[in-house]
């Protein structure tokens, strides 16, 4: 065997020995169930929070668009891939987010690359929360700007980074002024806690920074109309740039950037992930627009989800089996409920135990989460039944932590 293949094999074996090897397993998700071969398990691992992926209005919209336009867009947005469906969705999404304009990219990951790649450059500063999503981290590094990471939610540390850069780069009359970016998830994807957006807006004002908020897990779920955490916290028009993903609560796929027209026009002209890739299929845009209709017409989905989250968090607290970070009580009802057990083996064991009990909730291990913070990440969906939660709680109560697996100091945490 070639040397490099042998090296890869060794590396994979090392991952396996540490319990960190990942495998793709074919599963058939269908509403609140996921089918693993012949076995139906309750799906606690989906980001389809409002159960829209199978909603008849959403699937019909996609099918009709395929009939009208075919499956693939056939070209980049700037060539022949831009259909009226794309334009209608973008106008619609801008209204939904109370923004001047919007642009659709094939995925949320790509949308984050597009934003920071088009707007930041060497000499600029990008400040990332320590728990920001990997797509924001990758986007920040690829942009060539200076990247600094502040401890999770520590506004004081962020303020220092911004102040230092602000003072070192006083605006000059010549050339483009150095830019500062505050880049944060709205709802943090592995912990389910949230950013303090009003405080970040204040900092952005004070230090002339651009605030970029990734609303992947907030859009559709939070706020009176489901427009996200920025709506819930009353700062929709103060956030400079928001990135929503249709891959979570909207039940589809796609990254949608909302902002002022100058930003959107700059993306159209400068964002390589928009210019040099094929447009999202028209059916994708049509399905997202239909999902927005359902979000508007069926607020009960958001309300049901919120009740389920409150019940689960509350019950977990009362089991006494897992410690609960007191700050999680103040967190709005985000559908992500982490059960942090510490060591990788314990997380794998808990996940396997849940599977035996008929529930699907995979272990989340390093490097996705820090070492010692392995967890089972439960994500809830609006179509879960009350007795699904009962089944989960019963299974958690009957779990016995494997020997030699130290207890994490704060097994359920939102830090
Ligand atoms: C916070 C956050 N941002 C961006 C993404 C990427 O979104 P998408 O799946 O649409 O590429 C994800 C999803 O995994 C996410 O959790």
Question: Is the per-residue pLDDT at 279 higher than 80?
Answer: yes
Token representation of residue 119: 């707007």
Residue 328 sits in the same domain as residue 201: no
What is the CATH number for 195?
3.40.640.10
Identify the residues whose C-beta falls under 6 Å from ligand 1.
Answer: 107-109, 133, 135, 185, 189, 214, 216-217, 245, 247, 255
pLDDT at residue number 72? 96
Kindly state whether residue 224 falls inside one of the protein's structural domains: yes
Measured between alpha carbons, how far is 319 from 393 in angstroms, rounded to an integer?
Answer: 8
What pLDDT is attached to residue 296? 98
146-150 β-sheet, strand order: 101-105, 255-259, 241-245, 209-214, 180-185, 125-129, 146-150
* Any domain includes 20: no
Nearest Cα to Cα of residue 49 among 36, 73, 32, 74 = 32
Which of 53, 108, 140, 285 gets mutated to test ligand 1 (max ligand atoms within 8 A of its CB)?
A: 108
Q: Classify residue 412: in a domain, yes or no.
A: no
Strand ordering across the sheet containing 28-30: 28-30, 33-36, 39-43, 359-360
Q: Are residues 213 and 354 in the same domain?
A: no
**CA gap 130, 313 in Å, rounded:** 24
Last residue of a domain, one of 266, 297, 328: 297
pTM above 0.85, yes or no: yes
- Between helices 282-297 and 300-319, what is the axis angle to 10°? 80
pLDDT in tens, 171-220: 666 788 999 999 999 999 999 999 999 999 999 999 999 999 999 999 99
- Position 171 in a domain: yes
Residue nearest to atom 12 of ligand 1 (CA): 216
In this prediction, residue 404 carries a pLDDT of: 64
For 118-129, write each residue's pLDDT tens digit. Answer: 999 999 999 999
Residues 107 and 162 in one domain: yes
Region 61-67: mean pLDDT is: 98
Asked if the structure places residue 8 within a domain, the reply is no
Looking at the fold, whether 47 and 97 belong to one and the same domain comes out as: no
Q: How many domains does the chain have?
A: 2
- Residue nearest ligand 1's atom 15 by CA: 216
The residue segments making up the domain with residue 248 are 71-297
The residue among 327 and 5 whose pLDDT is bigger is 5
* Distance from residue 219's CA to the centre of ligand 1 (Å): 12
Nearest CA residue ID for atom 7, ligand 1: 108
Q: Would 6 be classed as within a structural domain?
A: no
Q: What is the CATH number of the domain that holds 328?
A: 3.90.1150.10
Nearest atom (ligand 1) to Cα of 132: 1
202 & 335 share domain = no
The answer to whether residue 3 sits within a structural domain is: no
Atom of ligand 1 nearest to the CA of 255: 10
pLDDT of residue 408: 43
pLDDT mean across residues, the chain? 92
Q: Domain boundary at 297, 332, 354, which?
A: 297
Buried b (16+ CB within 10 A) or exposed e, 38-74: eeebbbbbbbbbbbbbebeebbebbeebeeebeeebe
26: tokens are: 């074919």
- Whether 221 and 92 map to the same domain: the answer is yes
The answer to whether residues 158 and 97 belong to one domain is yes
Residue 245 phi, psi dihedral angles, 5° rounding: -115, 140
Q: Which of 297, 329, 347 is the last residue of a domain?
A: 297
Range 334-362 average pLDDT: 93
Q: Does some domain include residue 406?
A: no
Same domain, 291 and 327: no
Residues 337 and 261 in one domain: no
State residue 319's pLDDT score: 74
| Gap from CA of 245 to ligand 1 centroid (Å) | 6
Do 189 and 113 sit in the same domain of this protein? yes
Helices vs strands, H then E, count in the chain: 14, 14
Counting ligand 1 atoms within 8 A of each CB, the residue from 109, 248, 379 with the most, and so the one to mutate, is: 109
């Amino acid at each position: 065997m070639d040397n490099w293949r042998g090296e890869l094999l060794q590396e994979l074996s090392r991952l396996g020995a540490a319990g960190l090897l990942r495998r793709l397993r074919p599963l058939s998700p269908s509403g609140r169930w996921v089918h693993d071969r012949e076995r139906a398990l309750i799906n606690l691992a989906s980001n389809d929070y409002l159960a829209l992926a199978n909603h008849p209005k959403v699937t019909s919209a996609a099918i009709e668009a395929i009939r009208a336009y075919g499956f693939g867009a056939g070209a980049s947005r700037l060539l022949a891939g831009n259909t009226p469906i794309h334009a209608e969705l973008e106008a619609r999404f801008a209204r939904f987010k109370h923004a001047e304009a919007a642009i659709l990219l094939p995925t949320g990951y790509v949308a984050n690359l597009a934003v920071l790649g088009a707007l930041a450059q060497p000499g600029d500063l990008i400040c990332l929360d320590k728990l920001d999503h990997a797509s924001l981290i990758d986007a920040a590094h690829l942009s060539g700007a200076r990247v600094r990471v502040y401890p999770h939610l520590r506004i004081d540390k962020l303020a220092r980074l911004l102040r230092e850069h602000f003072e070192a780069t006083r605006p000059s009359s010549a050339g483009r002024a150095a830019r500062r970016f505050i880049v944060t998830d709205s709802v943090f994807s592995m912990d389910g806690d949230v950013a303090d957006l009003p405080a970040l807006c204040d900092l952005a004002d004070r230090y002339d920074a651009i605030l970029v908020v990734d609303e992947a897990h907030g859009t559709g779920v939070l706020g009176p109309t489901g427009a996200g955490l920025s709506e819930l916290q009353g700062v929709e028009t103060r956030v400079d740039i928001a990135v929503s993903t249709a891959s979570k609560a909207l039940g589809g796929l796609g990254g949608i950037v909302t902002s002022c027209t100058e930003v959107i026009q700059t993306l159209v002209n400068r964002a390589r992930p928009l210019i040099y890739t094929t447009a999202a299929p028209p059916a994708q845009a049509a399905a997202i627009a239909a999902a927005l209709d359902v979000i508007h017409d069926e607020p009960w989905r958001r309300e049901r989800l919120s009740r389920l989250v409150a019940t689960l968090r509350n019950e977990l607290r009362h089991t006494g089996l897992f410690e609960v970070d007191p700050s999680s009580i103040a967190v709005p009802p985000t559908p992500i409920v982490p059960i942090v057990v510490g060591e990788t083996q314990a997380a794998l064991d808990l996940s396997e135990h849940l599977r035996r009990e008929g529930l699907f909730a995979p272990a989340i291990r390093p490097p996705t989460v820090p070492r010692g913070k392995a967890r089972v990440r439960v994500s809830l969906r609006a179509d879960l039944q009350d007795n699904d939660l009962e089944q989960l709680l019963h299974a958690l109560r009957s779990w016995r932590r494997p020997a030699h697996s130290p207890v994490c100091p704060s097994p359920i945490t939102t830090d």
